[in-house]
Structure 1
């Protein structure tokens, strides 16, 4: 029987060693991982093929998430090397001051300790999470989904062997090699060894973690994302942004699910958007006002407003001005990524200030919400909560602070 507690205990012990590694040592460890991924690409793809063969449901979105290709492995490797190139946040002094007793106080970035990440179908998370944790001085406990067990195991073994070969402690990367639900609950009960848990997946996974975790949780939520085309927008730009945000990769959390259009331009813009999206066979549903312009589209139900389709489907809604658009977004979004297309300064400022989302876009696609695209390196997920991190969970978001206090003999009266 797989011993979850023992794995987590070893990760905790390794975290103290890892915290003492220099930036050079951590980068050397990550470079060994990048090289090993390249050298073992064929074996990784072979194991991924087993997962794909074992998955028998007809779900193209899920299959896309599960699939590894040579190009996707190259992207993982590029992500690891981008993390190597980034400054090490550990030890960064964020504030220095002297108190009335003459003590010099420094607030210094420090690792969180041991981070558990529980995720679903995407095998790339195995590498992304490990690389981020190692660079930020944290040990990591990986618990992937059952459908990707062969891929995740192969990636973990490649990384562990590479770390050991580089002369570092391989226990700083741990893997729960048990796909039972009980093993997930067991891991979430290891609060004495795990300092924080990050769920990466749908709302069901997030709620499961929040209900069972005995350690703090940084919730990485799904993305019910909107694009609002305001009446002053450049309509050709808006069409291109909507098309990209919906169709470039519809299965991911930063893909747009809902198009909101100002009533002043709906008769002109809705057909433009419909024609563009139809080239990718996107299924369109609309509210009553949208269907007056496009009677052939489906009827938008109350459930549609809050649905993250993760597929070639999109809703169209018509509003009267930016305030109504913002109210709709705040009511139905998952506070992930939402965009406005506009030339109007008031609308831009109102949207930026009042949309309660982790990432708010002006005249750009929501598809950029990604640590790699932001230049932060790979990410652990997109946090939609407000503590401890919000937005892409990259290197600095995987640190805390400690106070270092220096004196010259002071005692308290």
Structure 2
């Protein structure tokens, strides 16, 4: 009966035995006594689904637990833990597990960001838990606080560094002046980046996490296709150095905002003021900054990836789901009642920092400022650096150039983009060196 501890073991099936899966198995086996005391019943790891039985694995995972029959494994489980990644066969296996009455724990952000409604509808209909703390920011407890602790508040904005690989890369570019390719190679050598870093460098990983956070924060279904995405591939060492000169740090940010018009969700590199808490996030760490009406600003910081940190979040979900099965009740259902409009990328409001090379002659700045005014964009600050090499002694003064750095006030993305395009068309403008958004100010 509910409220009475059951001596019957709860059968746990594990899908995937990579870095995270190995640590989850290790935690279930070596911490069995503590976990049983916390749950009120033993947790029995009944099998680990893998693609190849012959692959060499950590001895922490007993070989007799390995199986290639994932379908049969999930049908016999009370709790199914999925850390295999990808859309299929993970989706089919989780839906099979849910249909069989098993609670599900997943770290699969790509699957959630693409199939959120289908999974939640199935779990709610079956009356089982669907838990996914490890899908966003590794060990950092961010899903449960947004989903439950702030359920009585009004979240206005979520601003986060949710990809440790890109944060490491940008940090190395800032500290040692490395170019992007050099920093990525270092990240790969240290195990922070995959052999193919596309998911990280081009922002796909962060976009999936942004979709999940936005769905939770604003009670609105947001898929990865609703997230405007721009990675860090175009960021240069010069961009990072110029950012430092103006009191900023370059970060790849996941941003979800609620406005009077709807919800804006985007991922892109941005300049963060050095006095903002996110600017101090170094290396492969993650941090999420939440702004809510009642709670005010909250920041969650910690390791965003890695086997042990991610396994910590997975095991927390396993304990929670197991308690519900022993004592009665279930975790929170999907909350999508708000169904707020999802705004296009160009409807977001932000600030731009634009670096230009222009002819060094009177009236050029006035021309540039005039174009901004025509588009309804005002200038916050202007900086002019040393003249170009053309102005060296003996050079033709008519060929001299200057480097301008303009920072705008906040405006709609569409207006800012049109403004930059118009400025680029001015005769005295030799080159638009870079355009970066400014956030957190």
Do Structure 1 and Structure 2 share a fold, with TM-score over 0.5?
no
TM-score under structure 2 length normalisation: 0.28
TM-score under structure 1 length normalisation: 0.30
Q: Structure 1 or 2: larger strand share?
A: 2
Q: Structure 1 or 2: larger helix share?
A: 1
Higher relative contact order (CA 8 A, sep 6+): 1
